Amino acid sequence: MVKSFKIDKTQITLGNVTTLKSKLGYGSRDYKYFKKRSVDDPTGATLHDIEYDIDVVEMIDSNQDEREIRLVFSKNPAVDRCVEITPIKKRVSSDDDEEEELQDYELDAYKDWLDHMHTRKEGLGESIKP
C-alpha cells in the first residue's frame, strides 16, 4: 500500500512517524524505515531504521535535496536493505527559441480552432452590450 502526505518538515518527529505508523494499522513492535538514495545508483536506495530522534534528523537531512521522504512500515524486519527507488526527475531548462516556437504553435492551434468554430457557426453567442 502506498500513501502520500504533504507536511512541513518541522512536523516530522519520531512521535509523529510512530503515530502515523499506528494509524496505518501497524503495531508498536512493527518496523519503520526510510529510504536513503544510493550515491552510486540513482535508482537504488537502502533502508535505514527509524528508532531514535537522531534517525529522524538523518532522514530529513539525507532527503533535503529531493524534498520527499519515503517511509516503509513492515510487520517483519527487512532482510534485504537494498531496494529500488524512483529516479530523480531532471529539470530541463529550455532555450528562449523553443519557448517561442511552442507559444507560436499554441497560438496557431487556437486560431485554427476559432476558425473552425466560426465556419460551423458554433459558440457565436450574442454580444452583451452595456
Count of structural domains, the chain:
2
The rounded distance, in Å, linking the Cα atoms of 122 and 114 is 10
Model confidence band, residue 31 (pLDDT cutoffs 50, 70, 90):
very high
Domain check: are 114 and 51 in the same one? no
18 and 71, same domain (yes or no): yes
**Closest-CA residue to 33 (of 50, 13, 18):** 50
Whether residues 46 and 109 fall in one domain:
no
Residue 105: predicted pLDDT: 52
pLDDT band for position 7 (50/70/90)? confident
Burial 61-88 (b: 16+ CB within 10 A, else e): ebbeeeeebbbebeeeeeeeeeeebeee
Q: Residues 79, 24: one domain?
A: yes
Residues 21 and 65 in one domain: yes
Q: Does position 122 have pLDDT exceeding 80, yes or no?
A: no
Residue 128 lies in a domain: no
97 and 49 inside one domain: no
Q: What is residue 106's predicted lDDT score, i.e. its pLDDT?
A: 53
Radius of gyration of the chain (CA): 25
Digit-coded pLDDT (tens) for 36-71? 888 887 788 889 999 999 999 999 988 888 788 888
Q: Which domain holds residue 113?
A: 92-123
Please tell me the predicted confidence (pLDDT) of residue 49. 93
Residue 94 confidence (pLDDT)? 54
* Residue 55: partners with Cβ closer than 8 Å, 6 or more residues away: 14, 34, 48, 49
Claim to verify: residue 80 and residue 96 sit in the same structural domain? no
C-alpha cell, 22 = 499506528
pLDDT digits (tens, 9 = 90+) for 67-117: 888 888 899 998 888 888 776 655 555 555 454 444 555 556 666 766 767
Sequence-ordered list of residues with C-beta below 8 angstroms from that of 46, at least 6 positions apart, any chain = 35, 36, 38, 81, 82, 83
Assess if residue 39 is contained within a domain.
Answer: yes
In the structure grid, which three cell numbers stand for residue 99, read together?
519557448
The pLDDT value recorded for residue 102 is 47
Average pLDDT of the segment spanning 11-16: 88
